């Protein structure tokens, strides 16, 4: 693996935002593809942060600092990942479900989808089922995308499906879900349309749903 990708992960793990930005820029200048910088530099660093958090070696403040460093690095990649998508193939309202404040994965899904030419309306975090449905109606969206990182907030995704049914838009809008604890079986159990386990496949799946 390229030395700079390793350095990105190490700097991220230590929450060194400026260094992360510097190394991501260096990786871009070295011609490393943005997708590779993400998957072999930033994400492994964030994974290690997750393990330390789980094992009580670090706590919320350190994780937040690392999350900010991750977002700063990902921001640099955003225009490069989006380059491919010039024209809109369809619209999605995307958000992290009610009660859940994790947004790094959702932000990556957004970037990847924009890279595929999908128009993304980002509703942010802590989004209620009603707000997802309202957003879909307001923006005349083809898709709703829900992210959840907590086992306690996953059930809200089922409420989104029900809210879409209650509002009479379920036959018009496909619902995609994802996030670390989410599974294909869970997706089927709540009657959502698609589950993917990472941001790149979420973008591919959304593109498929919009174009076939």
CA atoms within 13 A on the CB side of 117: 11
Nearer to ligand B1M, 49 or 131 (CB): 49
CA atoms within 13 A on the CB side of 210: 22
Where in 82-101 is the site for ligand B1M (CB under 6 A)? 99-101
Nearer to ligand B1M, 1 or 64 (CB): 64
Of the candidates 13, 20, 17, 19, which has an alpha carbon nearest to the alpha carbon of residue 52?
13
The Cα 42–Cα 163 span in angstroms is 36
Site string for ligand B1M, 113-132 (x = CB under 6 A): --------------------
**Helix (H, G, I), strand (E, B), or coil: what is residue 133?**
helix
**Are the beta carbons of 129 and 158 closer than 8 angstroms?**
no
Query: Which member of 124, 155, 168, 181 binds ligand B1M (CB under 6 A)?
Result: 181
Of the candidates 113, 104, 33, which has an alpha carbon nearest to the alpha carbon of residue 74?
104
Site string for ligand B1M, 53-82 (x = CB under 6 A): xx-----x--xx--x---------------
Scanning 80-88, 114-122, 139-147, 183-191 for contacts with ligand B1M by CB under 6 A, the matching segment is 139-147
Q: How many residues bind ligand B1M (CB under 6 A)?
A: 37
Scanning 5-13, 104-112, 128-136, 165-173 for contacts with ligand B1M by CB under 6 A, the matching segment is 104-112
Locate all alpha helices (DSSP H) within 2-59, ordered by sequence.
Answer: 3-13, 17-29, 34-37, 43-54
Query: Which member of 11, 108, 118, 192 binds ligand B1M (CB under 6 A)?
Result: 108
What are the two backbone dihedrals, phi and then psi, of residue 27, each rounded to the nearest 5 degrees? -65, -40
Q: Which residues of this chain interact with ligand B1M, rule CB under 6 A?
A: 43, 46-47, 49-50, 53-54, 60, 63-64, 67, 99-106, 108-109, 145-147, 149-151, 176-181, 196, 198-199, 202
């Amino acid at each position: 693996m390229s030395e700079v990708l390793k350095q990105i992960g190490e700097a991220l793990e230590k929450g060194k935002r400026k260094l992360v930005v510097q190394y991501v820029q260096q990786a871009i200048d070295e011609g490393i593809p943005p997708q590779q910088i993400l998957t072999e530099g930033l994400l492994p660093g964030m994974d290690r942060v997750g393990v330390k958090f789980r094992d009580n070696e670090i706590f919320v403040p350190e994780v937040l600092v690392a999350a900010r460093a991750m977002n700063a690095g990902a921001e640099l990649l955003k225009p490069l990942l989006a380059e491919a998508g010039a024209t809109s193939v369809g619209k999605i309202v995307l958000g992290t479900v009610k009660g859940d404040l994790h947004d790094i994965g959702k932000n990556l899904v957004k970037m990847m989808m924009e890279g595929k030419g999908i128009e993304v309306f980002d509703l942010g975090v802590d989004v209620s089922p009603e707000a997802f449905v309202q957003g879909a109606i307001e923006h005349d969206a083809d898709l709703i995308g829900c992210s959840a990182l907590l086992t306690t907030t996953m059930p809200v995704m089922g409420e989104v499906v029900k809210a879409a049914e209650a509002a009479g838009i379920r036959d018009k809008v496909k619902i995609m879900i994802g996030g670390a604890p989410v599974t294909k079986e869970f997706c089927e159990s709540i009657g959502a349309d698609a589950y993917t386990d990472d941001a790149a496949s979420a973008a591919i799946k959304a593109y498929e749903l919009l174009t076939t």
